Amino acid sequence: MIEIAVLGFGTVGSGVVELIDNNQEWIRRSVPEGIHVKYILDIREFPNSPYADRVVHNIDLITEDPEVKIVCETMGGKEPAFTFSRKALESGKSVCTSNKELVEALGTELMLTAKQNGMSYLFEASVGGGIPILRPLRNSLVQEEITTIGGILNGTTNYILTKMEQEGAAFDDVLKIAQEKGYAERNPEADVEGYDCGRKIAILASLATGRKADYDEIPCEGITKIAAPDFAYAKAIGRAVKLLGIARKLGDGSWSVRTAPFLVPKEHPLYPVSGVFNAVFVHGTMVDDLMFYGRGAGKNPTASAVVSDVVELAMHIGVPLRSAWNEEKLTLANSDLECHRFYIRAAAEKAPALQAAFSSLEQIDLGGQGGPETAAFVTDEISERTFAQCLGEIEVQNVIRLL
């Protein structure tokens, strides 16, 4: 048996422990000796759990036990997750995690620690929950030059946007339903302001380029300004509103990375992705377009991704796996020069000012169904800087980029 330890017996951690027990038969096809959870580290006791006898509270018990070969960190947050992960790597254990916050902020350091100690650090579950995306990037797509990666990376916001679109409901009302259903956290800021999506696109951009994309430098907008009329105007031009994290290689070789709502056209594979589902779109110069679709969160899907790392680590004991990226920083393109078409929604009385400010503006016709008080337009493809200059002081209700 290969002995492992799980740090954090919450939603994901308990899923990992159960999955390893329940799916041992399938795991043994790849790891014939089997995998066994020897320790579960948590702050609390779990007296009613069938795993109560494995619960410990001191990380040293795990790091000092030579039988433990793999540690799964499913606690979340930066500390003590970072300290515990580093300690495990330094003690000769490989580590895997679902903790995107830690991977984005300190993953480079942990990969370096892993390398220095002949160990591996994997984090399949940190992006896209149950969707296998990081392993395909590390294995099946190593030969590809990736030029676009990203997509719908946050199930909470995709659920909210889908409900708003289908039911014409207001953002605050749908957020409340999402919280009641457990799709959104009590403090939804990280989801609705786009921070969670931003961390995930930083991880994907780092993987695609092999250099570290810095989350703090990635322009980030959430969905709080999206309102019912935006869906009607989007539909009128054959598009849907989606919060995307997108990284693109530009003509000059630099990378643009951004989190923002986009109007996605019907022909694009991301268009029909709705509800809590996530999808990651990849373009490689040889393989062309790919899309990876599935549940971006939840106990079982996320645990499945963590256990896929455990199995890979168990198959490579004593064989360190290549780091996902190196310490070199990915320099991002000047976002002011990035070009897009922009959708603008404004009070109808602002229409003449907008038409005078932009050299070319296409008005969106709702076929008489929109009220007389609002107007919406689409610009030509222009740079972010030109857009800001043209818009100047004109007050508008919302602006969304077109994909």
Ligand X SMILES: NC(=O)c1ccc[n+]([C@@H]2O[C@H](COP(=O)([O-])OP(=O)(O)OC[C@H]3O[C@@H](n4cnc5c(N)ncnc54)[C@H](OP(=O)(O)O)[C@@H]3O)[C@@H](O)[C@H]2O)c1
Calpha distance 205→341 (Å, rounded): 23
The 8-class DSSP code of residue 332 comes to: B
In the complex with ligand X, the residue whose CB is nearer, 13 or 150, is 13
CB 9 within 8 A of CB 17: yes
Q: How far is the CB of 394 from ligand X (least distance, A)?
A: 40
Q: Using CA atoms in the order 384, 150, 188, 130, what is the torsion angle rounded to 10 degrees?
A: 180
In the complex with ligand X, the residue whose CB is nearer, 157 or 374, is 157
Q: Is the dihedral of CA 155, 159, 161, 162 positive or negative?
A: positive
Give the residues across from 133 on adjacent strands.
none
Q: Is 45 exposed, middle or buried (0-12, 13-18, 19+ CB in 10 A)?
A: exposed
In the complex with ligand X, the residue whose CB is nearer, 29 or 186, is 186
Helical spans, DSSP H, in 28-99: 59-63, 81-90
Which residue's CB comes closest to ligand X? 10
Which of the residues are catalytic?
200
Q: How far is the CB of 36 from ligand X (least distance, A)?
A: 20
In the complex with ligand X, the residue whose CB is nearer, 17 or 240, is 17
CB 247 within 8 A of CB 205: yes
Q: How far is the CB of 233 from ligand X (least distance, A)?
A: 33
Q: How far is the CB of 83 from ligand X (least distance, A)?
A: 10
- Residue 105, SS3 per DSSP: helix
Contact residues for ligand X (CB under 6 A)?
Answer: 8-13, 41-44, 74-76, 80, 98-101, 125, 129, 297-298, 302
Calpha distance 319→207 (Å, rounded): 21
In the complex with ligand X, the residue whose CB is nearer, 46 or 271, is 46
Calpha distance 128→190 (Å, rounded): 16
Q: How far is the CB of 7 from ligand X (least distance, A)?
A: 6
